[in-house]
Structure 1
């Protein structure tokens, strides 16, 4: 007799399965139609296309081009139309609606307030507009019968000098919709140690933070993020694979840093499709997530930039299911990992795991068993 463990979940099961997202950029997930409409409203005339279909194609092609300059240009356009309270609230609300429709039950969505002040907004106005949008999106999702909770991560840019200011902002808005802090931008030449004052402040305030590390620059970036800065999670962290040796006979030896990351249960915010676009992996089959899952690292699955990568949480899991023959059990493992690693209180994480995630997967397994197998209509 076959069981759900023996067969991969169907696309519909993947979509319906409860999912948790820790690494998603607000300015990387806009709907193309929204960009077109906001550009028209604000007089933004630099879009490469003025219709939603061609514009969405342009974003995907630019992100896949292999040109870093062209890839970064995509964010010029999304950020360019996110400069008013109304635009920020709309984008945030639509983000929540899109995630909820994809089966996401908890998400931490990040953005850099300093990038949204080009038209005179104060940093506080940016945060309040996004928070308003997230709450509106949660209400709209609930009205559609979908449960989701979204927290904001405030991001500082590595190449700028406002990290402490953004960290203080994140601390002022904690318990008001902001759950933590992040730092992003080019790793090479801009180590996180340039912003030690921000991380020391956050630690003194007992606040949470993640650091983009180990995507483009490798092990030194991961080591600095952990040992100098004290990051709670690693944004990407995929290059930890460089400290893992796999012999021809399949035996595995972990280096000191990889062993530390695994032993300490440091969460890795892995983004498979994005990693392929940036060259951190050559294919889904070669992506380190397969080995990291087998070695029981605290691996999580994430989207990074849904617009640029033309992806979703369901899309990411679908690639992994096809590539590694993952089951609902594997999906639940990644999802519980992510929920354990969220920046909300322990009792609230536990409630999400026990009251939402585990029952959701149990229901899907039950449907599989009583519906006659993987081909049953769900």
Structure 2
């Protein structure tokens, strides 16, 4: 048995650790340079900045408003340059490459096919282009000695009326690169119950789906996603903290909904940096993930939108390590949680946990123990 590590991991160890990502938006993770180049190729002239560095800063500042609605407005520019086959392939390929470079070994990346039709593509052509890009990115990562598997989640926009159509699309491409379904967009005024036909269809087909819930809107959004719609996971779900009371003596009391979420091991796709930007949390130190980890909820760490938050999985963990003193053991706990909650078959999840995730952390822990032993031996030699 590997000894528990109690020392803070270094940034290099965090980057090399095998990480699992369940909540990442394709249109929220473009490289600024790619946006500029695609805009130039496609004649899109509405970018607020044409210098990649300044554009990256603009996205971050525009997303730092504390408003989910304002945050979502930034996507008009990324979606605008993702309207052709070649653009979608490139963006998906670079997404897989960037995640692999950051030490992500498994990722579920979501996007809304209905938002990429302005250039004349069909829904099917959109899905096939993105899948092609993911496979190219995986292959390029392998050539560089990195391992990553990327599955797509097809998203329906909750303010639109195409959820059933997108759910059917997800089912047609099941086992062909698409692993599940999602709904996204502004929660307020657009409850998931408007799309019950899509969720009922997916349940009949024994397919998987997650629902954005409990981010900008509170407990009713979570309750509806679970009890009316039957979601397998909660996209964000951070507002479950509203159903948990922490008393002055440190004791904790869970409400009925929070108890249900924990008892049923419903995964929470927590996105700390994004939550700070949209006002769901005030700081990393105050982020509910600390309490949810301590209470053993099925918490996972995610990026949401790497461009808008100027983040990565490594940066998310670095900030959590700083805020809560997490160790490699904590990182492994989050990563195993995420892999357990993935939408691929059980045996494939188990293989990823046993053959990739756990061995990767064991190697890093052994490296840490070796350095500790060497340091101790050196000190003893000096004293001798």
Aligned equivalent of 1:156 = 156
Residue deviations 1:101-120, cap 9 Å, x none? 00000000000000000111
Residue 375 (structure 1) shift? 8.9
Q: Residues 231-274 of structure 1: CA distance to partner in whole angstroms, max 9, x if unpaired? A: 00000000000000010000001000000000000000000000
Q: Does 1:8 align with 2:13?
A: no
| Aligned: 1:83 with 2:87 | no
Q: Which residue of 1 aligns with 2:233?
A: 233
| Separation in structure 2 between the aligned mates of residue 214 and residue 48 of structure 1, nearest angstrom | 31
Question: Contact 2:67–2:279 (CA<8 Å) still a contact in 1?
Answer: no
> Which residue pairs with 2:315 in the alignment?
315
Q: Which runs of 4+ in 1 moved over 6 A?
A: 373-376
SS at match of 1:372: helix
Indicate if the aligned counterparts of 1:222 and 1:234 stay in contact, CA closer than 8 A.
Answer: yes
1:325 matched residue in structure 2: 325
Take 1:237 and 1:354, find their aligned partners in 2: how far apart are those partners? Answer: 28
Q: Does 1:59 align with 2:59?
A: yes
Structure 1 residues 139 and 71, CA gap change in structure 2 (3 angstroms): same
Q: TM-score normalised to the size of structure 1?
A: 0.97
- Two-structure CA RMSD over aligned residues (Å): 1.3
SS of 2:372's equivalent? Answer: coil
Q: Is 1:368–1:374's contact at 8 Å kept on the other side of the alignment?
A: no
SS of 1:24's equivalent in the other structure is: strand
Distance in 2 between the 1:371 and 1:50 partners? 46
The residue number in structure 2 matching 1:267 is 267
1:94 aligned counterpart, secondary structure: helix
Superposed CA deviations along residues 8-60 of structure 1, whole A, max 9, x for unmatched, are 10000000000000000000000000000000000000000111111111111
C-alpha distance in 1, partners of 2:284/2:91? 30
Secondary structure in 2 aligned to 1:287? coil
Could you say which residue in structure 1 is the equivalent of 2:123?
123
Task: Write the deviation string for residues 107-151 of structure 1: whole angstroms up to 9, x where unpaired.
Answer: 000000000001111000000000000000000000000000000
Report the Cα distance in structure 1 between the residues aligned to 2:257 and 2:202, rounded to whole angstroms: 24
Aligned length: 374
Return the alpha-carbon distance in structure 1 between the equivalents of residues 117 and 316 of structure 2: 32
CA deviation digits over 1:271-312, x for unaligned, max 9? 000000000000011100000000000000000000000000
Paired position in structure 2 for 1:92: 92
Q: Map 1:334-349 to 2 at 5 A.
A: 334-349=334-349
1:243 aligns with 2:235: no
Counterparts of 2:154 and 2:374, CA distance in 1: 41
How far the C-alpha of 1:374 sits from its partner, in A, is 11
In structure 1, the partner of 2:187 is 187
Gaps of 5+ in 1: none
Measured after TM superposition, the shift of residue 66 of structure 1 is 3.4
| Kept after mapping to 2: 8 A contact 1:4/1:368 | no
Give the aligned partner of residue 17 of structure 2.
17
Contact 2:65 2:278 in 1 (8 A): no
**Which ranges of structure 2 fall in alignment gaps of 5 or more residues?**
377-384
